[in-house]
Amino acid sequence: MIQIPCFNEEGTLAETLACLPRKVEGFDTVEWLVINDGSTDRTVAVAKECGVDHIVDFPVNRGLAKAFVAGINRALEEGADVIVNTDADNQYNADDIPLLVAPIIERRAQLVVGSRPIRSIEHFSPIKKVLQRLGSWVVRFTSGASVVDAPSGFRAISREASMRLNIFDSYTYTLESIIQAGRSGVSIISVPIRVNGETRPSRLVRSIPRYVMRSSLSIIRSMFVYRPGQTFLMLGLIPLAIGLFFSARWLLFFFQDSTRTHVPSLIFAAVMLIAALLCWLCALLGEINGINRKLLEDIQYQMRRERLGDGSTEQADTYAG
């Protein structure tokens, strides 16, 4: 299943669909799915005219992340063994779809992210290129997965990994999905892919500062959810260092000048040490909650598997065993 989240894409959707394959080696059938995210133009009509097999139609705009998740759920219900996600603006070269799905068929990965040639993309500003590399590094650190281009929306995901997927961010799915998958034990790799020329300005990155802020919040939220122990432990080091510094300062002043008590320094040091202790308690509670989260994810996965099954075609046995 090749899915395309759309919001007012009547101008580019037909070109994007024309480039999509109807046959991919290793699969019996290739179907197309369009998620209409509350479009007010002819997006749905264009999709039908171009022979799209499945359409999820939102009455109002719910955001890219919601559209992505809705597409995954619909693809699973239709029995998809592998789901490929691409953009409606045709920025990704559809001829590279076989490269995306190959690691899944060969059982080398469950989630494959297409890595764009960021340095050679002309319509990317120098600031955006730096931010792309920085964001990918942060996601690699947080998820533990070796992903070169984390914000890339050109990706393939196996049926099993799709049933383990949970997205809580309402802004974008790209970063959180990798972090969540990596922390859940899903095997992830990157493959180099090609891109086409710019057909329209990005609707997700309307403003660099806004995109940085929203993406940063998504990463920070994911760190607290999926790596609470390490995150709170590292946060606790900051007040600990400050508390130890002012404790040493108080001791130095106390022995040098016994006529003054320097109570403010002592109180501030105590407050910082207590703050460090509270962070470490949060780390402990976060790890305990993390165990419960993993148990709930396993229960959710089993329920989805019982409801949706392992796959509808014999191709599932090729890579799922």
pLDDT at 311: 61
CA 185 to chain centre: 14
DSSP state of 229: H
- Among 134, 89, 95, 141, CA closest to 114: 95
Do strands 155-158 and 188-192 pair parallel, antiparallel, or not at all (unpaired)? unpaired
Residue with the two structure tokens 């994911």: 222
Q: Which residue has the higher pLDDT, 319 or 127?
A: 127
Alpha-carbon gap, residue 19 to 154, rounded angstroms: 14
Burial of 197 (0-12, 13-18, 19+ CB in 10 A): exposed
pLDDT at 319: 38
End-to-end Cα, the chain, rounded Å: 20
pLDDT digits (tens, 9 = 90+) for 33-72: 999 999 999 999 999 999 999 999 999 999 888 999 999 9
Least confident stretch, 5-14, 163-172, 234-243, 285-294: 163-172
The DSSP H or E segment spanning 158 is strand 155-158
Maximum average pLDDT range among 143-152, 185-194, 311-320 = 185-194
Least confident stretch, 13-22, 254-263, 307-316: 307-316
- Among 10, 64, 54, CA closest to 32: 54
Do strands 82-85 and 2-6 pair parallel, antiparallel, or not at all (unpaired)? parallel
Tokens of 272: 């910082």
Chain mean pLDDT for the chain: 86
What proportion of the chain, given as a percentage, has pLDDT over 90?
50
Do strands 54-58 and 2-6 pair parallel, antiparallel, or not at all (unpaired)? unpaired
Tokens of 233: 């432990």
Q: How many CB atoms lie within 10 A of CB 119?
A: 9
pLDDT digits (tens, 9 = 90+) for 196-221: 876 666 666 566 677 777 777 777 87
Output the pTM of the full model.
0.79
Maximum average pLDDT range among 50-64, 120-134, 164-178 = 50-64
